Amino acid sequence: MTLLILMRHGQSMWNAADLFTGWVDVPLTPKGIDEARDGGRAIAHLPIDEVHVSTLIRAQMTAMIALSEHGGGKTPVFQYPTEVEDGMSDNETRMREWAQIRGEAGQDGVLPVHVAWQLNERMYGDLQGLNKQATRDKYGDEQVHVWRRSFDVPPPNGESLQLTAERTVPYLESTLIPAIDAGKNVFVAAHGNSLRSIIMHLDDLSEEDVLKLEVPTGVPIVYERTDDGFVRKETL
């Protein structure tokens, strides 16, 4: 049976500062680095054939640190499409042109890492950069809880979990599940709400159930592919 391994990034600098982060691109704290390392040790014995991360550095750091603890012997290599498209920045153009592996020897032992904006955290809109406690003081605990945990109520000018699921679930179904069904064990490093939307879909949670769903930082959640869908493994 093939596996889907999900891991929320370790503590970020804005997690530690109690700020709404969303798509703001901040790195891990030393604690977050330790969490990623511990998460990697927890899955070190599991096979991994393909990695998917968001565009945000905290998820990418988590994946690379976790994989540094993995015993698979493969080198994680970020994958870039070969096609250059009109309107691309110089950075994007150069990476597509110059980051390709040319020699056959370089292909051996590669662990492909795919970057997908669809796995990004929900966009918190006007809340991004605000202190969470100050926001609770201003709007009330209940309103902030609804913005953070409800299914269909977005923060001002931001995404709800429902809107987040409209990009994460299609990515799950079009990219992750086909890879798993092709026999690959897939590791995903992403964010609290992007993973909540995926778990909601995999576990068939109701809108009420997802209110109580918390995804801890740096803790792997492992699903096994079965004939009936996905089953969460209780022990690693």
Which sequence positions are flagged as catalytic?
A: 9, 121
Cβ–Cβ under 8 Å, residues 225 and 3: yes
Q: How far apart are CA 172 and CA 165, in angstroms?
A: 10
Q: How far apart are CA 69 and CA 64, in angstroms?
A: 9
Q: How far apart are CA 92 and CA 100, in angstroms?
A: 13
Beta carbons within 8 Å of 129's beta carbon, 6+ residues apart:
19, 20, 24
Nearest to 59 by CA among 178, 233, 234, 215: 215
